[in-house]
């Protein structure tokens, strides 16, 4: 089973409770010690706004032979919807991510 690190950046309301903004969820296929992977995650999180929080499942492809076979040298690979084609790989395609965030 792949290793998953969930990056949940939901914003807190003024009373300390959860804000009502609906978070957009992404999946990032990554690997340890991958500077491009960290760069993509950082760039994605910079697109987060108070009205558009972002959550990310970071999946370590090296934890699953099937994922290594599928992604290997493509990482990082970003998806907004796993039933749709990837948004980007290697570098964040900010235009495509903003298009998803603005739907």
DSSP string, 82-101: TTS--SEESS--HHHHHHHH
Domain 21-90 CATH (choose: 3.20.20.70, 3.40.30.10, 1.10.1370.30, 3.40.50.1100)? 3.40.30.10
Distance CA 78, CA 38 (A): 12
β partners of residue 48:
none
What are the mean pLDDT values of the chain's consecutive 10-residue runs (103 residues total)?
51 48 91 96 95 95 97 96 95 96 88
What pTM, to 2 d.p., does this model score?
0.81
- The domain segmentation of the chain, as residue ranges, is 21-90
Per-residue confidence (pLDDT) for residue 8, from 0 to 100: 52
CB atoms within 10 A of CB 31: 20
pLDDT value at residue 22: 83
The token duo for 52 is 């558009």
């Amino acid at each position: 089973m792949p290793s998953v690190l969930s990056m949940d950046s939901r914003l807190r309301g003024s009373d300390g409770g959860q804000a009502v903004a609906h978070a957009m969820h992404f999946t990032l296929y990554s690997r340890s010690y991958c500077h491009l992977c960290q760069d993509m995650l950082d760039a994605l999180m910079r697109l987060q706004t108070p009205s558009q929080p972002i959550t990310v499942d970071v999946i370590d492809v090296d934890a699953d032979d099937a994922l290594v076979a599928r992604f290997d040298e493509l990482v990082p690979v970003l998806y907004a919807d796993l039933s749709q084609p990837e948004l980007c790989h290697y570098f964040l395609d900010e235009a495509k991510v903003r298009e998803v965030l603005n739907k």
